[in-house]
A and B are shown apart, each in its own frame.
Chain A
């Protein structure tokens, strides 16, 4: 929340992007006197006016010794001639070099700008792709729901199986117990019966039965011999 107790937007609005620099500077004649001066004097004195003015002023300064001619004048003349010769000869080269430097700077800035634009465009593409992916959300959730349902089903069946197994084990135990009990009872009863029967066989009965067996065997052997 902006507590605006001071007035906003009071400074001059800065134009962005900045307006481009002008191509050429103000016109200057002979490198020293701006064109405006010549244009200023043109309506009254025509084309030669400023030159006449200059010549007159020069002669006036010289004659009245406002401008004295001494050794410095010669030095100034030599220096000026050298400077003018240098500028005339190497001016264009220096200008081309400076222009090249400027070009490189501008190209670098442009490259950065294009890079940024390209990155943003790829970001936009990816964003659109993500938005397209969002549409597939329903399928994703269906698959997840199916997964979970399957997990639940599996778990339920496992537990069901476990319950079944436990119950069966307990019932088998009961059945085994009953079988064991009956078995034991049977065995016990058979043994008891056999013991009693053996006890009841008197010695005399044993002799009689052995004699009967021998007679039977003889009879059998006779019938067997006859068959052979």
Chain B
């Protein structure tokens, strides 16, 4: 389909800047993007009948990495 309607995973590497240009970077747009991303993650890994540890463990791992990144300056002293 048209470039703006495609999801990130379906965009080819060369088209990435063009795709970024069509993105909506206003606060509502960003919020909508975050909402969609969270909804897709939630529907795929958490909102299932027989989930496992995968759903929250990936969130926790992401949180660990993020906090390590924020505190890197302090740690590397």
Contact = CB atoms under 8 A, between A and B. Distances in A.
Contacts of B51: 24-25
Given A23-B49, A25-B51, A95-B50, 13 more contacts: A21-B49, A22-B49, A23-B48, A24-B50, A25-B46, A25-B52, A26-B45, A28-B57, A31-B53, A31-B54, A31-B57, A65-B76, A66-B72
A214 to B, nearest CB: 152
A68 B74 CA distance: 11
Contacts of B45: 25-26, 28
Contacts of B53: 31, 87, 91
A159 B35 CA distance: 93
A26 B44 contact: yes
B10 to A, nearest CB: 13
Contacts of A102: 49
Interface in A56-98: 65-68, 70, 72, 76, 87, 91, 95
A108 B68 CA distance: 46
B75 interface: yes
Q: Is the interface of B mostly helix, strand, loop or mixed?
A: helix
A34 B51 CA distance: 14
Contacts of A24: 48-52
Interface in A11-68: 21-26, 28, 31-32, 34, 65-68
A76 B63 CA distance: 14
A81 to B, nearest CB: 14
B33 to A, nearest CB: 19
B61 interface: yes
Contacts of A22: 48-49
Contacts of B72: 66
Contacts of B54: 25-26, 28, 31-32, 34
Contacts of A65: 76
A140 B5 CA distance: 72
A25 B55 contact: yes
A26 B75 CA distance: 35
Interface string A171-198: 0000000000000000000000000000
Pairs A-B, 10 closest by C-beta atoms: A28-B54, A25-B48, A25-B45, A26-B44, A31-B57, A25-B51, A21-B49, A31-B53, A22-B48, A23-B49
